[in-house]
Structure 1
């Protein structure tokens, strides 16, 4: 039965061989990927998806729709006195806080 040190040395040897195999295959894989991208005229966004803002990646995963696509949400509520609007997301404005929201709904 092999000792721990012998097995550890074998594991390191196998890891080194695996890394050598990966490196030797890497250029072939890159060439294949580049050829496919060129053949189909793919963009980086199609291959990797849309980039996300750094603040979204660092957050707890709950990002707002405005942060996801860059466009603000349409307003759902309007203050009849001032004309100010609110999308219904985030902190309630003072003009609607504690009141029935039905009377502030914007007709669609």
Structure 2
């Protein structure tokens, strides 16, 4: 039967083996990447470039107004919550199409 010290020694030996295997695998991966970079003439800047870089996303952009309150001139794009002026008018029996621009 193994003693506690034997098991700790085995664990330490395994930890060292794992660390060495990780270093070896990492070094192999780096050399493969360098070989591919050399083969295709790539630079680190090429690797940093991702698909879609330089293309602005539409998130947060303004949308044209679709509805207008004739009394106040306030507008609503049709997205998000209905504004209070429109909710009030709809509750009074008016139709959404009445406010279309």
Which protein, 1 or 2, shows the higher relative CO under an 8 Å CA cutoff with sep ≥ 6?
A: 2
Alignment TM-score, normalising by the size of structure 2? 0.49
Alignment TM-score, normalising by the size of structure 1? 0.47
